[in-house]
Amino acid sequence: MKFAILDILEKKRDGKELTWEEMQTIVQAAQLGNVHAAQLGAFLMACHLRGLNEGEVENLMRAMMFSGRLMKWPSEWKQKIVSLQSTGSTGNKAKLILAPAMAACGVKFPILSARGYDAIGGILDKLRTIPGFSGIKSVKEIEQLLEDVGCCVVQQPSDIAPAEGVIRDMAAIAGTSDNDAFKEACMIARVAALKLHAIVIDIPYGAGEWVKTKEEAMSMAANLDRLRSILGIKIKVLVTAVDWPVGTMMGQSLEISEAMRCLSMCGPPDLHDLVIKLGGHLLHEAGVADTPEAGQQRVHRVIRDGKAKKMFEKMLKAQGVDKSDLKSLMKARKDPNNMSSVLPVANYFTHLSSGDKCGLYGSLSYVAY
Amino acid sequence: MKFAILDILEKKRDGKELTWEEMQTIVQAAQLGNVHAAQLGAFLMACHLRGLNEGEVENLMRAMMFSGRLMKWPSEWKQKIVSLQSTGSTGNKAKLILAPAMAACGVKFPILSARGYDAIGGILDKLRTIPGFSGIKSVKEIEQLLEDVGCCVVQQPSDIAPAEGVIRDMAAIAGTSDNDAFKEACMIARVAALKLHAIVIDIPYGAGEWVKTKEEAMSMAANLDRLRSILGIKIKVLVTAVDWPVGTMMGQSLEISEAMRCLSMCGPPDLHDLVIKLGGHLLHEAGVADTPEAGQQRVHRVIRDGKAKKMFEKMLKAQGVDKSDLKSLMKARKDPNNMSSVLPVANYFTHLSSGDKCGLYGSLSYVAY
């Protein structure tokens, strides 16, 4: 049964609960472009101001999840495919180290990046500062990368939860993306469509994060946990107080540089610790380590003995970075000043005030590379 | 100073009051197409759900009014240019009789029709059922029609308050047009840009009207009165209980037919009385009659002696209806069954239930011609 978009929109406007059929109708129309952008904008604002209840969030999530095909993985990878989602931009840098470290520990770790709207950009934007790096891959190519390397950083394929991308884009311009219900539904729709076996979701909270308070973070964690039980996949939610940027560098190519130092055991200790912590939980969830602590030891080991770094090189090569650039990059990795021979350097620099307290985010509102 | 659209949108989303500069920025962007439709839809929904205060309605009205040029009339017409606005669809039929009656009384009576979204359509849609009738006229042609005939029914020229049309269209698809503040701001922006000297605003309320209760109608009248004092033009607001359709016919060409019977003194008495009442106030506001009652007598006289009917013929001719069609139409005017030789007849008929009470709107939700 089809419902008229305007009726659905007006129903939500008036604070009434939408049914599964109504939610599905509007999500499908958004995906196919069968709804006027003004109606979609008005709908998103009505959802934002009126709120979505538990059932509506679940229906929104399902409608987006089933808007494309579901990923299928080789059966021998059972329980082995894990990934990390993070609500904060500071965690993104950790992913750059985590991906090769996880691959070095023998699990499959695809990072399927959604387009980033924050100031620094997503992890893919960072890797694209390396000449030749390509993140656009088909489902088939992603499978090949996981087979050959064990990790990859690619854009979410266009046939996986396509409606989710459309709705997320629209929410960003309609001023409604700063909304827990949307974020949760989008995050879980992606993970579910990707058919990951286990996922660790990192919810850092603090002044410079998307989630500001512990209460918000805990409520988000509870909602994600509820959605998890609906889907039956393993989700571990970590809620951590973060009142300062992880590591010492912010900006696209600067973060690549810091991640490479970390993979050579000469990065900042807080970043190293974060990677170890997240990785330990991931290995535990994937059944590779008996406890998160045992997992942590293993992650530390593959970083210390250079296996993770080798895996990072392998991944860059498999994703299009040519031999000579890779060689220059690896040679320069211990000295960020030498990175500029390969990575771009910003033309414009600005002083960022961190408010009263040294080292804290404080009044920081924008960062650039 | 320019403001970013997203900032303005988010400010309204969060329930904060918009400044004149912010309101002007978004109205201008809407007019020029410099804002994504999704943002405009989200903005309109945020305004609808958060509400607009008195100052914001005034700023919205002013921004739309000054979005194009202001009409200029010959100075010898001072105080003579009047018109009627109505919030209800049933009043539209009265306008068809009122326009020529006012012209017959010596005042200039332009009807500058806004696009109608209700089931029956606007007055222009009704007149367009007469072959040859043209309602698209430039400001120059409108002036000529008022000079030669004294009345006309035309589409609002595209250079008069253009932003108002854009915002009204968007509000209609975004499910936010059912909003007093928007309606008031749009109505007054049009009137003010048209530089009418006096205007009577009819607010019928009742089951089948746009305004449902007396309280709503009175509150709207008070708001319009407030906006009037800002503009310094004469506005008379009439609030009347209407629990049944005026006259006996509904539908585009049927209403033309009933209006013509009324101009021949053989239409339904309630329609005749409504025209007399509205016309009396209009003549009083224009300074042509000392009291509304004296005005009523005059309107009754020009209908009874056929002067208004002649004026209607003159207007149709001046707006493109050819001689032979006009002759057939006038010949058939006393017998609606003969109208079909000129006016179109619907191919599809449907039974309309009026609920329990005979003759009342009741459950009537849609009408068609």
Cα separations in angstroms, A33 against A27, A338, B225, B339: 10, 47, 43, 44
Rounded Cα gap, residues B235 and B221, in angstroms: 10
B9 vs A contacts (CB less than 8 Å): 174-175
Q: What is the mean pLDDT of residues B206-234?
A: 80
Q: Judge contact between A113 and A156, C-beta under 8 A.
A: yes
The per-residue pLDDT for range A90-114, each reduced to its tens digit, is: 556 889 999 999 999 999 999 987 6
Q: pLDDT of B246-287, one tens digit each?
A: 777 777 777 888 899 899 998 888 889 989 999 999 999 888
- Could you tell me if B9 lies within 8 Å of chain A, comparing CB atoms? yes
Residue pLDDT, tens place only, A180-238: 888 889 888 988 888 888 888 888 888 767 788 888 888 888 888 887 777 777 888 88
Q: Hey, what are A72's tokens?
A: 């299928």
Task: List the single residue in B13, B50, B170 with the smallest CB-CB distance to A38.
Answer: B170
**Which tokens is A75 given?**
């059966």
CB contact under 8 A, A38 and B10: no
Check whether B34 has a pLDDT greater than 60: yes
The residue of A45, A117, A365, A366 whose CB has the most chain B CBs within 10 angstroms, and thus the best one to mutate to test that interface, is A45
What is the CA angle B310-B314-B315, rounded to 5? 120
What contacts A236, CB < 8 A, 6 or more positions away? Answer: A198, A199, A200, A201, A281, A285
Fold of the B79-341 domain: Pyrimidine Nucleoside Phosphorylase; Chain A, domain 2 (3.40.1030)
Cβ–Cβ below 8 Å for A175 and B13: yes
Residue-wise DSSP of B54-115? HHHHHHHHHHHHTTSPPP---GGGTTTBEEEEESSSTHHHHHHHHHHHHHHTT-BEEEEEPP
Give the distance from residue B362's alpha carbon to the nearest chain A alpha carbon, in angstroms.
21
Q: Which CATH number fits domain A75-341: 3.40.640.10, 3.30.450.20, 3.40.1030.10, 3.40.50.1360?
A: 3.40.1030.10
A-chain residue closest to B175, CA distance: A10
**Helices of type H across B105-179:** 123-127, 139-148, 162-173
Q: Is the confidence at residue A16, as pLDDT, over 50?
A: yes
The complex scores an ipTM of 0.77
Mean pLDDT of chain B: 84
Report which secondary-structure segment, H or E, holds A84: strand A82-86
pLDDT number for residue A61? 93
Each domain of chain A, given as residue ranges in start order, spans 5-51, 75-341
Q: Supply A346's token pair.
A: 């910003």
Q: Tell me the sheet residues that pair with A86.
A: A202
User: Which residues in chain B have Cβ-Cβ distances shorter than 8 Å to A45?
Assistant: 13, 41-43, 45-46, 49
For every residue of A107-148, DSSP letters joined together read -BEEEEEPPP-SSS--HHHHHTTSTT------HHHHHHHHHH
What's phi and psi for A82, nearest 5 deg?
Answer: -130, 165
Q: How far is A322 from chain B (nearest CA, A)?
A: 40
Dist CA A242 CA A92 (whole Å): 14
Residue in B9, B173, B175 closest to A13 by CB:
B175
pLDDT, mean of residues B208-236:
81
Cβ–Cβ gap A50/B46 under 8 Å: no
Q: How many CA atoms lie within 13 A of B212 on its CB side?
A: 4
Q: Does B172 touch chain A (CB under 8 A)?
A: no
Residue B88 pLDDT: 67
